[in-house]
Amino acid sequence: MKHGVYKLMIIALLMTACGNGATTTPTAPRSVASEPALSATATPTPSPSPVPPQTSEQDGMVMLYVPAGEFMMGSPDQEDEQTASELYMDALWEAEDDEKPQHSVSLDAFWIYQTEVTNAMFAAFLNAMGNQKEGGVLWLDARAPRALIRQQAGRWQPVNGYQDHPVVEVTWYSARAYCEWAGRRLPTEAEWEKAARGTDGRKYPWGNEPPTCELANFDGRCFLRATTQVGSYPTGKSPYGVLDMAGNVWEWVADWYAPDFYAHSPRHDPQGPESGESRVIRGASWHPHQYDVHAAKRAKYYPHSTGPDVGFRCVRDAQL
C-alpha cells in the first residue's frame, strides 16, 4: 500500500512536469544562455572547480576539470528501504545488483568533455581519417535509419539541423579512435561516474530529485523519442558543470563489463575487468525509463554494436 501511494505521487509529478506523453511537434532546442542557472526544485549545485575550462585544439570541445580525490561509486544496498527512499526521494527506485556494493574510489584529476561528441565533430574526424573498419564493422553505420551523418560528393556531412546533436550509430572502436585522434581517450567507468555525480552521494547529476523534462531528455516523452542538441539541459548539469550526463544518449566508456566487478574493484583508479564480451555504456538516453537515468546506472553493449541512442565523450589526464 505504501509503495502504491508513492507511485501515484511520483506519476502525478511526472505528468505535471512532462505532460501526458510526447508532443506531436519536436520542441526547438533550448539555448544554454537563456536557461536559468538552476531549477527551483533542484538540489543546490556545489560551485564548479576554480580551474578554468580548456578548449580542445583538435575539435574545439570545452573541457572541464574534475579534481583528484575520493567519491562513493555505485548504489547503496536497499536492505533499509526507508533510509534508501529518504536518501533518494524515490520509493520506486531499486538499484540493480551490478551497481553494488557501493564502494569508495580514489581518482587522479582529469579533464572531461563538457558534452557528448557531436555529429559535426565526428564528420570532421571521418573526413580526416576515413570511415575505417575495426572489430569487423565500420566506425560509423551510415546506412542506419537514424544515422545523422551522410557522405556527399566524397565528404562526410551532418544532416542539416543536426550538426550539434550527439553522434550516434557509432561503435566502441570508433569512439576510442575518435578520442585518440583528438589526443584524448575514453573515460573509465569510474571517471565517468565521478564527473556525473561528484562527491556528495547524489543520485542524479543535479541532485536527488527525480528527473523532469527540464533536467534531461529521457523516456521518449520529453523530445519525441529523439536526440536533442547537446547542452540543451543546463539545469541538469553535474557538480563540475558537465552537461548531458543523464539522458539524451548512452555513452561508451573504456571498461569491459562484468556484473560483479564492484565486489573486487581496486580502490584507486579502477580500469575494469581485463577482458570480456561487452563494454560498459553509461548515462541512459532519450529512450529508457526514468529509473535508468540515475548516475550509477550501468549497462552492457557489444563493442561492435551501434544504436540510435549510443554516443560518447572523451577525457584527458590532468598532467598532460
For residue 284, give every residue at least 6 positions away whose Cβ sits within 8 Å of its Cβ, in sequence order, or none: 218, 246, 247, 250, 292, 293, 297, 299
pLDDT tens, position by position, for the chain (320 residues)? 333 433 333 333 333 333 333 333 333 333 333 333 333 333 444 455 679 999 999 999 999 999 999 999 999 986 444 444 444 445 445 678 999 999 999 999 999 999 999 999 999 999 999 999 999 999 999 999 889 999 999 999 999 999 999 999 999 999 999 999 999 999 999 999 999 999 999 999 999 999 999 999 998 767 667 899 999 999 999 999 999 999 999 999 999 999 999 999 999 999 999 999 999 999 999 876 677 889 999 999 999 999 999 999 999 999 85
Enter the pTM of the model. Answer: 0.81
- The conformation of residue 314, written as its DSSP 8-state character, comes to -
Confirm if 310 and 286 have CB atoms less than 8 A apart: no
Assess contact for 193 and 254: CB atoms under 8 A: no
SS3 48: coil
In the chain the domains, ranked by start, together with CATH numbers, are 2-317 (3.90.1580.10)
